[in-house]
C-alpha cells in the first residue's frame, strides 16, 4: 500500500509542477505576445485606412472628371464601381462613414445609368 501511495503522491506532485510550469509559460507568452498582437492590429488598421484613402481619392477624382465633362468608358466605370465596393467594405469594417463620398457615388451611378444604359 505504501508503494501505491508513494506513486500517487509522485504523480500528484508532478502534475502540480507541470500545472505551475504551464501557467508560468502561459503568462510569459501572454506578456510577450499581447504587445505584438496589438501592433499587428494597429498595422492592419493603418493599412486599411491607407487603402480606404487611396480608393476614396480615386473615386472622388473620377467624380470630379465627370463634373468637368470628361467621358469615361464602361470599363472605367466598372473599375470605379469595384473601388466603391471595396471602399464601402473597409468603411464598414472600420465603423466609419463619409456623406460626401456617398453623394459622389450616387452621382457616378446616375451618370452611368444615363449614359451607358441607353
* DSSP tally for the chain: helices H, then strands E: 3, 0
- pLDDT tens, position by position, 41-96: 899 999 999 999 999 999 999 999 999 999 999 999 999 999 999 999 999 998 88
- pTM of this structure: 0.70
Cα 39 from Cα 8, distance rounded (Å): 46
Determine phi and psi for 97, rounding to 5 degrees. Answer: -160, 150
Taking Cα atoms as reference points, which of 51, 114, 104, 116 lies closest to residue 77?
A: 116
DSSP state of 68: T
Cα separation of 8 and 14, whole Å? 10
Q: What is the pLDDT of residue 118?
A: 58
Amino acid at each position: 500500500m505504501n508503494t501505491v501511495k508513494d506513486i500517487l503522491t509522485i504523480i500528484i506532485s508532478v502534475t502540480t509542477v507541470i500545472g505551475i510550469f504551464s501557467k508560468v509559460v502561459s503568462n510569459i507568452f501572454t506578456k510577450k505576445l499581447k504587445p505584438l498582437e496589438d501592433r499587428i492590429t494597429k498595422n492592419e488598421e493603418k493599412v486599411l485606412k491607407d487603402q480606404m484613402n487611396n480608393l476614396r481619392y480615386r473615386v472622388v477624382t473620377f467624380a470630379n472628371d465627370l463634373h468637368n465633362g470628361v467621358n469615361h468608358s464602361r470599363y472605367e466605370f466598372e473599375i470605379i464601381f469595384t473601388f466603391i465596393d471595396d471602399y464601402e467594405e473597409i468603411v464598414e469594417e472600420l465603423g466609419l462613414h463619409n456623406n460626401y463620398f456617398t453623394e459622389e457615388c450616387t452621382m457616378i451611378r446616375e451618370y452611368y445609368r444615363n449614359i451607358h444604359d441607353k
